[in-house]
């Protein structure tokens, strides 16, 4: 696994654990809602993760982008599909998304070198 992916996943896990040590019921419910919303339903996991990635890019949240890139990788999104996801995100979000697109491509390239989890 590449350095970017290791650092992101390690920090995210560490801080989520820390948050859960003192989280109140509402925060725990919110985290659970986020998790369960991406489960199979009328839409499959792969589709939901692709939607999550587009939304994250348009909202310009680098942490969310990395998270959904990893989940897309795990769900079997290929590079052709990813390029279309990036195209839609840039179309909807405009040129302000381009810096996030650059970082997303860098992270995606690193994920491609990693085994699926």
This prediction's pTM: 0.93
Whether pLDDT at 117 is above 70: no
Q: Is the dihedral of CA 30, 35, 37, 41 positive or negative?
A: negative
Contact 72, 53 (CB under 8 A): yes
43-94 pLDDT, tens digit per residue, is 999 999 999 999 999 999 999 999 999 999 999 999 999 999 999 999 999 9
- The whole-chain average pLDDT of the chain stands at 96
What's residue 115's pLDDT?
Answer: 74
Q: How confident is the model at residue 29 (pLDDT cuts 50, 70, 90)?
A: very high
For residue 98, count other CB atoms closer than 10 A to its CB. 10
Give the percent of the chain with pLDDT over 70.
Answer: 98
Q: How confident is the model at residue 1 (pLDDT cuts 50, 70, 90)?
A: confident
What's residue 116's pLDDT?
Answer: 65
92-106 pLDDT, tens digit per residue, is 999 999 999 999 999
Q: How far is CA 17 from CA 3, 6, 20, 47, in A?
A: 21, 16, 5, 28
């Amino acid at each position: 696994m590449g350095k970017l992916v290791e650092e992101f996943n390690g920090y995210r896990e560490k801080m989520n654990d820390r948050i859960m040590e003192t989280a109140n019921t509402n925060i725990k419910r919110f985290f659970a809602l986020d998790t369960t919303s991406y489960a199979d339903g009328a839409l499959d996991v792969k589709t939901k993760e692709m939607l999550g990635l587009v939304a994250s890019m348009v909202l310009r949240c680098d942490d969310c982008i990395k998270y959904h890139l990893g989940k897309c990788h795990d769900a079997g999104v290929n590079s052709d599909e990813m390029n279309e996801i990036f195209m839609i995100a840039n179309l909807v979000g405009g040129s302000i998304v381009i810096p996030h697109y650059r970082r997303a491509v860098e992270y995606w390239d690193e994920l491609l070198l990693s085994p699926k989890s």
